[in-house]
Amino acid sequence: MKQLGEKLRVMRTIRGLTQKDVADHLHVKRSTYAYYELGRIEPSLDTAVAISDFFEISLDNLLRQWSSLQVFQSLYRKNLLGLYRRI
């Protein structure tokens, strides 16, 4: 599931987070989270749900294959909404 790993990396970097930041929230080792991003291993269903909650994205959208345009449009909107909420 290489595409899942790429989504994870993009969502993390857009938010300015490190792999350790996300791993700590998910209660996994940083290396485990790094493997998710690299597509070497897949998260368990429980971890996938925690990831979707953390990034505020539906589990369906997290796991489904998206076109690159859809990914960036969705993430861009979410990032802008998050910035607006902070103001």
Residue 7 has pLDDT above 80, yes or no: yes
| Number of domain units in the chain | 1
Band (pLDDT 50/70/90 cuts) for residue 86 is low
Please give the pLDDT value at position 2.
66
| Nearest Cα residue to 64 out of 11, 10, 13, 4 | 4
The per-residue pLDDT for 55 is: 92
Q: Are 58 and 17 in contact (CB under 8 A)?
A: no
Residue 23 maps to which CATH number? 1.10.260.40
Among 62, 48, 53, 57, residue whose Cα is nearest residue 77? 57
Q: For residue 50, give the DSSP letter.
A: H
* Phi and psi torsions of 15, nearest 5°: -90, 0
Residue range(s) defining the domain that contains residue 60: 2-86
pLDDT of residue 47: 96
What pLDDT is recorded for position 74?
66
Q: How long is the chain?
A: 87
Encode pLDDT of 25-81 as tens digits.
Answer: 999 999 999 999 999 999 999 999 999 999 988 888 888 876 555 666 666 666 655
> Which candidate, 27, 77, 71, 67, places its Cα nearest to that of 49?
27
For residue 78, the model assigns a pLDDT of: 63
